[in-house]
Amino acid sequence: MAMVCLSDFEAYAKKYLPKIAWDYFAAGADDCTTRDENILAYKRIRFRPRMLRDVSVMDIRTKILGSEISFPVGIAPTGFHQLAWPDGEKSTARAARAMNTCYIASTYSTCTLEEISAAAPGGLRWFQLYIHRNRVASQQLVRRAEALGFRALVLTADLPYTGKRRDDVRNGFRLPPHMKLKNLEGAFEVCKMSPLDPSVTWNDIYWLRSLTRLPIIIKGILTREDAELAVRHGVQGIIVSNHGGRQLDEGPATIDALVEVVEAVRGRVEVYVDGGIRKGSDVLKALALGAKCVFIGRPALWGLAYKGEEGLQDVLRILQDEFRLSMALAGCASVSEIGPHLVQFSKL
Amino acid sequence: MAMVCLSDFEAYAKKYLPKIAWDYFAAGADDCTTRDENILAYKRIRFRPRMLRDVSVMDIRTKILGSEISFPVGIAPTGFHQLAWPDGEKSTARAARAMNTCYIASTYSTCTLEEISAAAPGGLRWFQLYIHRNRVASQQLVRRAEALGFRALVLTADLPYTGKRRDDVRNGFRLPPHMKLKNLEGAFEVCKMSPLDPSVTWNDIYWLRSLTRLPIIIKGILTREDAELAVRHGVQGIIVSNHGGRQLDEGPATIDALVEVVEAVRGRVEVYVDGGIRKGSDVLKALALGAKCVFIGRPALWGLAYKGEEGLQDVLRILQDEFRLSMALAGCASVSEIGPHLVQFSKL
Amino acid sequence: MAMVCLSDFEAYAKKYLPKIAWDYFAAGADDCTTRDENILAYKRIRFRPRMLRDVSVMDIRTKILGSEISFPVGIAPTGFHQLAWPDGEKSTARAARAMNTCYIASTYSTCTLEEISAAAPGGLRWFQLYIHRNRVASQQLVRRAEALGFRALVLTADLPYTGKRRDDVRNGFRLPPHMKLKNLEGAFEVCKMSPLDPSVTWNDIYWLRSLTRLPIIIKGILTREDAELAVRHGVQGIIVSNHGGRQLDEGPATIDALVEVVEAVRGRVEVYVDGGIRKGSDVLKALALGAKCVFIGRPALWGLAYKGEEGLQDVLRILQDEFRLSMALAGCASVSEIGPHLVQFSKL
Amino acid sequence: MAMVCLSDFEAYAKKYLPKIAWDYFAAGADDCTTRDENILAYKRIRFRPRMLRDVSVMDIRTKILGSEISFPVGIAPTGFHQLAWPDGEKSTARAARAMNTCYIASTYSTCTLEEISAAAPGGLRWFQLYIHRNRVASQQLVRRAEALGFRALVLTADLPYTGKRRDDVRNGFRLPPHMKLKNLEGAFEVCKMSPLDPSVTWNDIYWLRSLTRLPIIIKGILTREDAELAVRHGVQGIIVSNHGGRQLDEGPATIDALVEVVEAVRGRVEVYVDGGIRKGSDVLKALALGAKCVFIGRPALWGLAYKGEEGLQDVLRILQDEFRLSMALAGCASVSEIGPHLVQFSKL
């Protein structure tokens, strides 16, 4: 079967992954309304394409926090890549480097940060962080990431507790015995009690700032109020995210929330978005609405499930080709020409 | 099969209850539009969740008419609990007390008020009342309820006549011979002519007031005009309700009507809502829009059908856990932090 | 099978009528969008029911053009009743009289006006008229109707040519040889060329007026502009109608058009509506939006198909009971209490 | 099977064409959202039909760029007609002439312009042009078309690159060996590299103008901004088009874009529209919203697939009859009476 678009990878993954792994990756909270809305909301945005502009030379590169990437699509932090492919996050790191884009490694990786770094030296990587009850554990992770050359910290803000994902409850989901949350080994006992600290507040950004010179990006912001607080607390970037619809169900689709966050931020920090990206034209829409870059979660896992790093490169390459083509067909030859004039919200 | 969410109980009840009982509980008037809208309307409300607020200590208790309950979900008045479980309303009373919440016992119970009281002494209970053509019968019921320690009267306003529920007509629904409307025995002959008085008007609130010192709550209000009348006639509370979509079809969903009732009431009395609650996050939405508490009807019956009082406790515990989690994920540590800023109406 | 609601009669008719007859009655123009919209549009209207009003004595009678009918539902003009029941329009006339309501007999009846009159002497009947190329034929019909005691003329305005009903084309629909358009026999040869005159304009109302002292009602108006013209040309009533969706597809649903027609008319003449009435509560909605009375087309044919005049009475009785009940549940004891405050348009 | 409406031809073509040909004609870009929206958008437009206007004599003729056509429906440029019928574009030309309407021959024809001209001498034809990297090739095509009596040039603006049509990728679509892009033979090697020039800009209109005295029409405009540019660069007409939804997916439906283009153009040049026309009433809607004429793409191919030129005439005749009937039922006796008062946009 030809792998023509991202849905082909989704169908493959659904067919070949163990059910418990597929269910875990696919899960949304409660009724999965927000998970699905992330995708549907893109369909309500319509292009206003412009004709007869010179699109013979296309430049789809962009910069995030000063680093150039080959096109504005990075890898969002997701856990447990070994559930998708034996080499796990090492494959992810290699694919991201091969495609010259950014990979946000998750705290919940099944490879250590050291293994990830060694797998793809020189790749652009950020590190996703939860703040743990055991603050020393978090501090150590931050220091390791900084020492290994990760170039930013991505603090996940939307998981004081884990969302209710019904299939995981039904399946009694847990990692197979041969997989480990390797970055957390020794630091604390997993699974007895959630190691995450639900008392974290905005002031903890200052604590985090005191630990590191890396830029801090906050992930999980969905309102203008929180966007303003993020800027005031000195973060360098915001990822508009609802955790793939896995936390609070029936919040806004991320592409809808992006609009109000971008308005509130007024260019003071970079804004990114994840959730619901399935086509190159979705990337174009996100950029038109003010995102500097998007990050893909489940599609990256489907790519891994298909053929490891090669499969993930296939996914990224398809997105890249589709993004370039949709830019050209909309009349933009470079990312700098993308703007809100390109889109309108459908009334339906 | 694991009982993970309320739909699991619904599926169980649909499978194991006698068809005539399932149909009776499930029935809506006419095309069942309003019954279904009660649920759909919740899905059109979107959260605006706030991040990085200390939600390590969660307090989900609330008070209704001055009585504390463990979380803002009570049991709405529904009839004929023996159709769902042999012990009928006695089981309901026990489950409500075990979960420390309020149970509104129906006039159309298959146990007497005395049996209900004896089954769970000390539980917080209100008594739901219809006004009968035979006013003496109603008066006696009010006096019995007051003497038994019921703490409020809930006058149902939306049933001058019974709605047209097609399945009940097709099934020729009537109670099995071994079940009785025990509270009405002797007072009048049931089934010849409806014992309810369709000439009741607002002035009858004054008559009811003259019979009892209990607070009077009116159930079935759907418009700002009637909410204003209710307040002016001295009720202590309003339950926004459309009788589970069993009376006038194609009226408003209760969560939509709640908004206009709350606006009209301007805090002068407590406002509650029933209809369409299927998840803990629905409770959060209702509170955000101004309800002091919600009441569940059919889900309580599904719980009874599953395992009697134990099954109903399961249902309440799931709602409680989901409510607490959705509060935390929305950034609220106590019920007092819930407000309209948490929600917006989807344009779709 | 119990006949509980109008859909039961529809299902019966679909099952037992010859396909060519069912198709003819069910047909809509083109994609049948307007036929179906007539029904869907009712579902977008929501009641605002009022509580605690004395509805112990219900009065559902109304008057149309000064004649009292038992409830505000009459029989719309439809053709070829013998396709549904052997006695054809004679049965229709008897059922209408038995239920004390108005029957608008069609020019395209399979019984003569004389037979119809003789079948149910004293019944309230109006006569539906097309203007033919052969004006003498039309004039004779008007005179016969007037002489037979028909109390109004209903001029159909929306059929200069017949709409394109695909199933009729596929079926090669024509009347079985034993049925005749009896009112037109002798007047002109049917089926060679349409006998209807597509050059009719508003001025022909004056010509019609010159022929008769009967009130003239115009049927098929859908816009405020035409409603204004109708009033200015001296008609006594307007039936908002799109011919059951059988003429121009993708015009407005009649209940939507009713609103603008009622506004334009400002009470100067009576306004009625047909199309899409399937429940008693639809009648209540139409009256709340300003209709004096509604007329049913296909449901009457389903009733005939079920059991002739008895079946049609069943249909009317169900509508009557449902209308009375929905009035009571909305808080209205008489037709005069029905008004626009009872409804709102759903935003969905 | 009777061929009653255009869907009948679609069903026939889907059944009898080789899958690869059907897929090619049916294809839309990406998710085919825009392809399908072209049709759905028509359904959201509602007529406001007017009654009692003299429609006994119908005149449905119109003029485009000064040439009279029998009704306002022409043949849009589509490629590879031999995939639908052995005689290919020669049949198309004959059918268009027989029906006295305009045929826009595509650069990607499987017959030469000379063959097309010879097949139907005297027919009204326009020539659709892409601008090639090899400008000489384009220049030669223009000169040939002009010499052969084509009466306008239609420059396609929305194809700097070919859209991503998933089925074509999966099928590995290419022309069967016995078919050729005959107009391009010798001019350059097809299929190695796209011969189209993605650097074309508005200034190339001036270059095109310098080559020919034919009117220039630009095809593929979807925004008011580009409509204004088109007028300023001196084109004689605009075809609002999204290439049948085959280029940038999730742009506007053409009938929606027509509104803004017509507003921007303010009558300075003629505006046409293609995409989504499936019924005569769609033509009426397009004209009501300001189009001078519509063009059909896929329906013409279905007609060819059915019976060659005869089948295409059937398609055109059905559209003609439906258009005439819908005009009459809306109250218009001639094209000049059609205007925006006839339609409104549904809120749904």
The answer to whether A258 and A42 have CB atoms below 8 angstroms apart is no
**Structural domain that includes position C216:** 6-46+56-338
Does an interface of 3+ CB pairs under 8 Å exist between B and C? Answer: yes
Strands B62-64 and B67-69: antiparallel
pLDDT at residue C195 in the model = 83
Chains B and D touch (3+ CB pairs under 8 A): no
Q: Quick one: pLDDT at residue C12?
A: 98
Amino acid identity for residue A290 in this structure: G
Q: What is the 8-class DSSP label of residue B332? A: -
Query: Where would I find the H helices in chain B?
Result: 6-16, 19-26, 33-43, 89-98, 113-119, 135-147, 166-171, 203-211, 224-232, 254-265, 280-288, 298-330
- Residue A234 pLDDT greater than 60, yes or no: yes
Whether residue D54 contacts residue C198, with contact meaning beta carbons closer than 8 Å, is answered with: yes
Residues facing residue A219 across a β-bridge: A156, A239
Q: What is the pLDDT of residues D316-346, one digit of tens each?
A: 999 999 999 999 999 999 999 999 999 999 8
CATH at B108? 3.20.20.70
Segment D183-222, tens digit of pLDDT: 887 665 554 557 899 999 999 999 999 999 999 999 999 9
Residue B347 falls within a domain, yes or no?
Answer: no
What's residue D112's pLDDT? 96
Q: D342 with D330: CB under 8 angstroms?
A: yes
pLDDT band at C187 (very low <50, low <70, confident <90, very high): low
For residues B118 and D54, give the distance between their C-alpha atoms in angstroms, rounded to a whole number. Answer: 82
A234 is in an annotated binding site: no
Please give the C-alpha separations between residue B332 and each of A33, B89, B317, in angstroms, as whole numbers: 21, 34, 19
- Chain A partners within 8 Å of B2 (Cβ): 169-170
The C-alpha angle with vertex A231 and arms to A227 and A234, in degrees rounded to 5, equals 145
Tell me, yes or no, whether C118 lies in a domain: yes
Nearest chain C CA: its distance from D1 CA (Å) = 8
Judged against a pLDDT cut of 90, whether residue C241 lies above it is answered with yes
What pLDDT sits at residue D186?
65
Adjacent-strand bridge partners of C203? none
The whole-angstrom separation of Cα B64 and Cα B72 is 8
Q: HEC states along chain A? A: CCCCCHHHHHHHHHHHCCHHHHHHHHCCCCCCHHHHHHHHHHHCEEECCCCCCCCCCCECCEEECCEEECCCEEECCCCCHHHCCCCCHHHHHHHHHHCCCCEEECCCCCCCHHHHHHHCCCCCEEEEECCECCHHHHHHHHHHHHHCCCCCEEEECCCCCCCCCHHHHHHCCCCCCCCCCHHHCCCCCCCCCCCECCCCCCCHHHHHHHHCCCCEEEEEECCHHHHHHHHHCCCCEEEECCHHHCCCCCCCCHHHHHHHHHHHHCCCCEEEEECCCCCHHHHHHHHHCCCCEEEECHHHHHHHHHHHHHHHHHHHHHHHHHHHHHHHHHCCCEHHHCCHHHEEECCC
B200 or A193, higher pLDDT: B200
Contacting residues of B for A160, CB less than 8 Å apart: 55-56, 328-329
pLDDT per residue as tens digits for the range C151-183: 999 999 999 999 999 999 999 999 999 998 888
C311-338 pLDDT, tens digit each: 999 999 999 999 999 999 999 999 999 9
Instruction: Return the structure tokens found at C53.
Output: 């009003």
Cα B89 from Cα B110, distance rounded (Å): 7
Q: How confident is the model at residue A194 (pLDDT cuts 50, 70, 90)?
A: confident
Question: How many whole angstroms separate alpha carbon B79 and alpha carbon D59?
Answer: 68
Token representation of residue D176: 């069967």
Closest CA to C152 of C105, C110, C108, C88: C105
pLDDT at C190 over 70: no
Question: pLDDT per residue over D25-64, tens digit each?
Answer: 999 999 999 999 999 999 999 999 999 999 999 999 999 9
- D247 in a labelled binding site: no
Three-class SS state of C252: coil
Over residues A239-265, the mean pLDDT reads 98
- What pLDDT score does D76 carry? 98
CA distance C309 to C103: 13
* C-alpha closest to that of A98 among A307, A290, A287: A307
Q: What is the pLDDT of residue A316?
A: 98
Residues 6+ positions from C113 with CB-CB distance below 8 Å: C105, C127, C141, C144, C145, C148, C150, C183
Predicted pLDDT of residue C188: 55
* pLDDT classification of D77: cutoffs 50, 70, 90: very high
> Cβ–Cβ of A252/B54 closer than 8 Å?
no
Q: Considering only CB atoms, which chain A residues are within 8 Å of D195?
A: none
Model confidence at B194: pLDDT above 80: no
* pLDDT confidence bin for B195, thresholds 50/70/90: confident
Quote the percentage of chain A above a pLDDT of 90: 94
Question: Per CB distance under 8 Å, which residues of C are interface residues toward B?
Answer: 2, 4-5, 43, 45-56, 279, 281, 321-322, 325-326, 328-330, 344, 348
Q: Do C49 and B170 touch (CB under 8 A)?
A: no
Which chain D residues are closer than 8 Å to C199 by Cβ?
54-56
Catalytic residues of A: 243
Whether A345 is in a domain gets the answer no
* Residue C193 confidence (pLDDT): 56
pLDDT at position B187: 60
Q: Are A91 and A315 in contact (CB under 8 A)?
A: no
Q: Which residues lie below 8 Å from residue A66, measured CB to CB, with a gap of 6+?
A: none
Q: What is the mean pLDDT of residues B297-319?
A: 98
Q: What pLDDT is stored for residue B281 in this prediction? A: 98
Task: Give the residue ranges of DSSP H helices in C196-266.
Answer: 203-211, 224-232, 254-265
Instruction: Give D38 to chain A, closest Cα distance, Å.
Output: 13
Length, in residues, of chain C: 348
Nearest alpha-carbon partner for B298 in B87, B19, B28: B28
Confidence of residue C346 (pLDDT cuts 50, 70, 90): confident
CA C13 to chain D, closest CA, distance in angstroms equals 26
Q: Mark yes or no for CB contact A252/B46 under 8 Å.
A: yes
Is B165 flagged in the annotation as binding? yes
- Which of C160, C169, C226 is nearest residue D328 as measured by Cβ atoms? C160
For chain A, what is the mean pLDDT? 96
- The residue of chain B nearest to residue A348, with distances taken between CA atoms, is B348
Instruction: Give me chain D's average pLDDT, please.
Output: 96
Complex ipTM value: 0.96
- Average pLDDT of chain B, as a whole number: 96
Structure tokens at C68: 């009292």
Judge whether C128 and C78 are in contact, CB under 8 Å. no
A41 within a domain of the structure (yes/no): yes
**Over pLDDT 70: what percentage of chain B?**
97
Phi/psi of residue D47, nearest 5 degrees: -75, 155
Q: Does pLDDT of C192 surpass 70?
A: no
C191 has pLDDT over 60: no
The CA distance from B28 to B245, in Å, is 5
Residue D334 lies in a domain: yes
Task: For A296-319, write each residue's pLDDT tens digit.
Answer: 999 999 999 999 999 999 999 999
B106 neighbors B82 (Cβ within 8 angstroms): no
Contacts of A70 (CB under 8 A, 6+ apart): A60, A61, A99, A100, A101, A320
pLDDT of residue C339 exceeding 60, the answer is yes
Residue type, B103: Y
Nearest one of C170, C222, C220 to C196, comparing CA atoms? C220
Round the CA-based radius of gyration of chain B to a whole number and report it: 19
In a domain, D51, yes or no: no
Q: Quick check: C47 and B202 CB within 8 A?
A: no
Residue of A nearest to B279 (CA): A30
Say if CB B292 and CB B64 are below 8 A apart. Answer: yes
Whether A305 and A24 have beta carbons less than 8 Å apart is answered as: no
Count structural domains, chain C.
Answer: 1
**Residue D236 domain flag:** yes
> Is pLDDT at B191 greater than 70 in this prediction?
no
DSSP notation for D288-339: HTT-SEEEESHHHHHHHHHHHHHHHHHHHHHHHHHHHHHHHHHT-SBGGG--
Q: Are C317 and C4 in contact (CB under 8 A)?
A: no
Nearest to C315 by CA among C149, C84, C119, C160: C84
Residue D348 in any domain: the answer is no
Q: Give me A195's structure tokens.
A: 């190691």
Q: What percent of chain D has pLDDT over 70?
A: 97
Question: Catalytic residue among C81, C233, C243, C341, which?
Answer: C243
Any known ligand binding at D24? yes
- Is the pair A, B in contact (3+ CB pairs within 8 Å)? yes
Closest by alpha carbon to C88, among C114, C116, C107? C116
- For residue D126, give how far its alpha carbon lies from the nearest alpha carbon of chain A (Å): 21
Helix (H) or strand (E) holding B29: none
pLDDT digits (tens, 9 = 90+) for A151-182: 999 999 999 999 999 999 999 999 999 998 88
